[in-house]
Amino acid sequence: MIRKADIILIVIIIALSCITTFFILKNNDNYGKTFEVYVDNKLYGSYNLSEFQEIKIEEDGKSNTVKVDKNGVKMIKSNCKNKNCVHQGYIYKVESNIVCIPNRILIKIKGENGDIDSVSK
């Protein structure tokens, strides 16, 4: 038999679940707006994620190609030996990275407020 206290407990649990879900979904807006490309720890360029393009990075005989489309940023070509950077796939969330260690290239997604992501807010 369900008592009045049981019904109150169920309502409280459902309400807390709904409130928690709301805040999780509300704060899950950490999709990047721009990305930066670093070569040898020096800024090579800053680009907008909404501009679909291919960017060729050529430095000291090292060559990489980055593709920007509706899915995010992806390394599509590299002349490095292992090609781990090419197999990593798309990135689009703030502070996500693609790293090509042999060619010393870093691609980093940035948000609206620089390095501040939804966890830091």
Of 18-27, 54-63, 111-120, the range with the lowest mean pLDDT is 111-120
pTM of the full predicted structure?
0.69
Please name the fold of domain 34-110: mini-chromosome maintenance (MCM) complex, domain 2 (2.60.320)
* More confident: 119 or 10: 10
Residue type, 107: I
Region 72-94: what's the mean pLDDT? Answer: 93
> Where are the chain's structural domains?
1-29, 34-110
pLDDT at 23 over 80: no
Query: Of 1 and 96, which is predicted with more confidence?
Result: 96
Closest CA to 66 of 19, 111, 109, 115: 109
Q: How confident is residue 27, by pLDDT bands cut at 50, 70 and 90?
A: low
Residues 20 and 8: their CA atoms lie apart, in Å, by 18
